Structure 1
Amino acid sequence: MTQKQRLWVTASDVARRAGVSRSAVSRAFTPGASIAPETRERVMKAANAMGYQVNMIAREMIQQRSSLVGVVTAGFENPFRARLLAHISLALTQHNLSPLVMNAEDPAQTKHSLEMLLSYRIAGVIMTSASPPLDLARQYLKLKVPVTMINRGADLDEADVVVSDNAGGGAMAARMLVDTGATRLAFIGPSKTSYSGKSRRAAFVRAVKGVVGASGEPVVTVVTPADDYASGVKAALQLLGEPQQQRPDGVFCSSDLLALGFIDIARQRFNLRVPQDIAVVGFDDIPAASYENYELSTIRQDTEGLANVAVEMLLERMDSFRGASRVRAVPVSSVVRRTCE
């Protein structure tokens, strides 16, 4: 490859221009390294003129440490997860760490994703909700790679978990619906497959029993395969197809996307008014929740808080891998809009 074809300026190029050794260039870019001030100045001047950037991957290989953190996630089309990923990336960069994002949507790619992350000698892994099975986390831990999980239930030694306060959120949703005068309540969500869905349903049912003093099962539950819009549509067709006296008049959806699908079918297929005929509460507070067509009452997850706590826990594990698994909860807040007035 000729000089004109070369895309990257190397440390050797800078050394030749500055008239110093290659090791002098390395020392100039290493904080605290021993180098004469005038030599450092010559190196920096040459590097700036040539647009030189330190090859961090090569440096980390030599120093046997990494600034790369794997972020294993799925469901990029979900606005909540997209916002969470953005905050994770920001929190990592604030600690001079770089995210290496792997899409675990396809189970067939799980093994490849694992091998790819390990080939980069990652410093740790953050796994978000909707990520692959816990077997993946176990494989990382076996190799002494720190793991922090977000909104996932786990009982893995040395793996930390940060969750939204699902218990508090479920109780808030119950109070919001009961305060509208709703008496026939329903829960919609993936409460069999999702840790968050299970937690939110359990808290909601418990709070409804406490508020209305009901015995037995006071909440009708529609279990969905996912927490997306299409699942909300199907749940609405199932619930609202019942005779009018059996229809719920208050619904808690474990995600905003579920709630949006439910509301559209309630209005368009069954001509129901929201909230006059049926009140609806979601969970997440995605941007669409505030759109004029919906004005969805919801429980807001603190994505910035989740990301910051996850990164803090990961940094602590990077310093000291050993220790019992820890769980930290991040507070949620209620947002009252038109669907639950």
Structure 2
Amino acid sequence: MARMAGVSRSAVSRTFTPGASVSEKTRQKVLSAAEALGYQVNIIARTMITGSSNFIGIVTAGFDNPFRSKLLAPLVHQLALNGFMPLLMNADDPQQLAPSLKQLLSYHVAGVIITSGAPPLSLAEEYLARKIPVTLINRHADLAGCDRVCSDNAQGAKLVAGLFSRRDWRQVGFIGENRENFSTRQRYDAFIAQTSGMTVTSRFCDGGGYQAGHQAARELVAENPGVQALFCATDMLALGALDGLRDAPAAAPLPAIVGFDDIPQADWRPYQLTTVQQNTALLAHHAVDLLMTRIARFSLPSRHREVPVKLIIRQSAK
């Protein structure tokens, strides 16, 4: 293959080694020669020899959450561009965490990406202890050697507060997951800091799903019928809030409702939800970039990147 491509044997080896340094010109020469020869990398054999693989573990919870699906697609794409394959681990069931951890380790994963949701940070500690690189998405952790990429939650909350101020909505509400949730806490704190002159009524739910938003919105508005606008910490909470208030007997106009995420359903005709858009493509790009450089050099100091967000105005809060 090296002879056909006109390159050295080491260049061929680097081409098929994820994360190795090789020019694009050389890579294309080698790949063309490999295709002509019908060559396929034996991943299992390479894993046995090197003790590592081209698998990346993606640990997440809430596969039924549309935002999680929206994030997974660009993550898988970015990994493929770098020559890696994803192994998904569902962290919904605490009883299955230990067996799933062992299963990922048995594949000699080259690195792990842990997303927002329920996965405990003890998982990150387990991988780091084994010198397996870890990148967190929309999570917080003070762990040496662990990288993080997050949407700018504070910026998003400020955009929502600014919208409420421009519309002169003074009686407002906030609906979020429990206060321990990293993203909810950041969004709530930044929102409250920007609502001077407004009266804010808050509700925190056990979860961030549709039913939680449905119930919380009805309770909040029943107790505060003058509420003019609601900021929901996730789109799923916001969609539940919209339907919950539409179903309830209304003595006053429905409040404006704003979500956070910009899941596909936010643009559906029955909802037309105003929301803060997370840039999932950029989140995925940074997460994989951080992981690739950590795989190449595990001893790097911890790094954090923040991704800008954008307010998308639709009919729910015109």
Q: Residue by residue, what CA displacement relative to the aligned partner does 1:161-212 show, whole Å, maximum 9, x if unpaired?
A: 1100000000001111222221111110114131000000011111112xx3
Q: Residue by residue, what CA displacement relative to the aligned partner does 1:231-288 show, whole Å, maximum 9, x if unpaired?
A: 10110121122153xx421110001110011011111213378xx5411110011111
Q: Tell whether 2:157 aligns with 1:176.
A: no
- Aligned position for 1:300: 277
CA contact under 8 A between 1:166 and 1:199: conserved in structure 2? Answer: yes
CA contact under 8 A between 1:187 and 1:251: conserved in structure 2? Answer: yes
CA contact under 8 A between 2:147 and 2:290: conserved in structure 1? Answer: yes
Structure 2 residue runs of 5 or longer lacking an equivalent are 1-8, 14-31
CA contact under 8 A between 2:232 and 2:259: conserved in structure 1? Answer: yes
Q: How much does 1:31 deviate?
A: 5.4
**Amino acid in structure 2 at the alignment position of 1:332:** V
CA contact under 8 A between 2:175 and 2:217: conserved in structure 1? Answer: no
- Aligned position for 2:19: none
From 225, 238, 255, the equivalent of 2:206 is 225
**Amino acid in structure 2 at the alignment position of 1:263:** L
Identity of aligned residues (%): 41
- Aligned position for 1:22: none
Distance 1:330 1:243 in 2: 35
From 244, 255, 275, the equivalent of 1:265 is 244
Q: Residue by residue, what CA displacement relative to the aligned partner does 1:213-247 show, whole Å, maximum 9, x if unpaired?
A: x6xxx421100111110110110121122153xx4
- Aligned position for 1:19: none
Structure with greater Cα Rg = 1
- Aligned position for 2:268: 291
Quick one: structure 1 residues 69 and 268, their matched pair in 2 at CA, closer, same or farther if it must change by over 3 Å?
A: same
Q: Residue by residue, what CA displacement relative to the aligned partner does 1:36-75 show, whole Å, maximum 9, x if unpaired?
A: xxxxx99977x64xxx743212223223332111100111
Distance 1:145 1:42 in 2: 33
Q: How much does 1:308 deviate?
A: 0.5
Distance 2:281 2:57 in 1: 18
Distance 1:232 1:277 in 2: 15
CA contact under 8 A between 1:188 and 1:224: conserved in structure 2? Answer: yes
Distance 2:178 2:93 in 1: 22
From 144, 157, 177, the equivalent of 1:157 is 144
SS of 1:57 mapped into structure 2: helix
CA contact under 8 A between 1:149 and 1:162: conserved in structure 2? Answer: yes
Distance 1:63 1:265 in 2: 55
CA contact under 8 A between 2:61 and 2:117: conserved in structure 1? Answer: yes
**Amino acid in structure 2 at the alignment position of 1:220:** T
Question: What TM-score results when the alignment is normalised by the length of structure 1?
Answer: 0.81
- Aligned position for 2:83: 96
**Amino acid in structure 2 at the alignment position of 1:84:** L
**Amino acid in structure 2 at the alignment position of 1:32:** V
Question: What TM-score results when the alignment is normalised by the length of structure 2?
Answer: 0.86
Aligned length: 293
CA RMSD of aligned residues (A): 2.3
**Amino acid in structure 1 at the alignment position of 2:113:** I
Task: List aligned pairs for 1:262-341, cutoff 5 A.
Answer: 262-271=241-250, 277-341=254-318
Distance 1:315 1:301 in 2: 23
Q: Residue by residue, what CA displacement relative to the aligned partner does 1:52-109 show, whole Å, maximum 9, x if unpaired?
A: 7432122232233321111001111111110101111111000001111111110111
**Amino acid in structure 2 at the alignment position of 1:339:** S
Q: Residue by residue, what CA displacement relative to the aligned partner does 1:292-337 show, whole Å, maximum 9, x if unpaired?
A: 1111100000001101100111111111112332211000000001
Distance 2:204 2:260 in 1: 16
Distance 1:99 1:243 in 2: 47
Quick one: structure 1 residues 301 and 53, their matched pair in 2 at CA, closer, same or farther if it must change by over 3 Å?
A: same
Quick one: structure 1 residues 338 and 272, their matched pair in 2 at CA, closer, same or farther if it must change by over 3 Å?
A: farther
CA contact under 8 A between 1:289 and 1:297: conserved in structure 2? Answer: yes
